[in-house]
Amino acid sequence: MNTTTTVQSIAEPRSARSFPLKEAALLLIYPIGVYRLWKRKSPLWFRLLYTVLGLPVFLIGSAFLALITFAAFLPPVDFRIPGNPPRTVVNSEGNYATTFLKTGRETGGAYELVQVEIEPKGGNDWHYHKAFEEQFTVLKGTLSVGLDGKVVPVKEGETVTAPRKSLHYFKNDQDSTILIRVKVSPARGLEKSIRAAYGLTNTGQWQEGAPFPKNIWHLFLLLGYSETYLDGIPGFIQEPLVGALARVAQWKGEDRDLQPFFR
């Protein structure tokens, strides 16, 4: 038996097994990956599959990186309230109100304290925040709080805290309006996001029956103000994406529509 032939026959399968992983990594530089793949004597089906399916992956990835890079040079999202609006804002669609007991401006950015009425069956879905924690105190009724996969009934006089990065939600499962107090530490953009969301609803700029406004750029601003990230989407994708899209929306001047809600 020829020694050279034996070495080659052992080495070739190793190369054949390893190269798909290398080419998969080259999706980041798709043209080079395609060139290298077609230059090799690999199965035709694999070359065609890589070429066809790899293109949209490359284009989406490139667009994502381009957006994040562009947004990095834009001003950060502005959490400030430019005017001196009333303490209480009312959501006319559900006829419930939120009162800002302590604003971030008044506490030097240490915290925000708001009193919130939640209509029957009202609330939100699983989400998390990286920049602050939320403390919920029930003043009237019973609040259902989802926290890290569990649902906790919080009764009148009780308090529960959602730490940073913890998945949570809160809902009113009762048939009557309940009253809660929410403390956000440190203060960020909670006040601005609530005022903007109520204002869009009151002026008919919210998609009826949908969880988002009619103008998609307003949604990006609301997510940027509240720094809210949803369950089910990898954080390394949505966290930079939310921040980038909010900055772009602000750069485009889409926040001008929201200015009347801060006066």
How many other C-beta atoms can be found within 10 angstroms of the C-beta atom of residue 111? 20
- Per-residue pLDDT tens digits for 8-66: 433 444 333 444 555 455 555 667 777 777 777 778 877 788 778 878 887 888 899 99
154's CB contacts (< 8 A; 6+ apart) are 136, 138, 142, 143, 144, 145, 160
Which pLDDT score is estimated for 14? Answer: 38
How many other C-beta atoms can be found within 10 angstroms of the C-beta atom of residue 177? 17
pTM (two decimals)? 0.82
- Per-residue pLDDT tens digits for 116-158: 999 999 999 999 999 999 999 999 999 999 998 899 999 999 9
Which pLDDT score is estimated for 13? Answer: 40
Domain 88-262 has CATH 2.60.120.10: yes
For the chain, the structural domain boundaries read 3-72, 88-262
Which pLDDT score is estimated for 37? Answer: 73
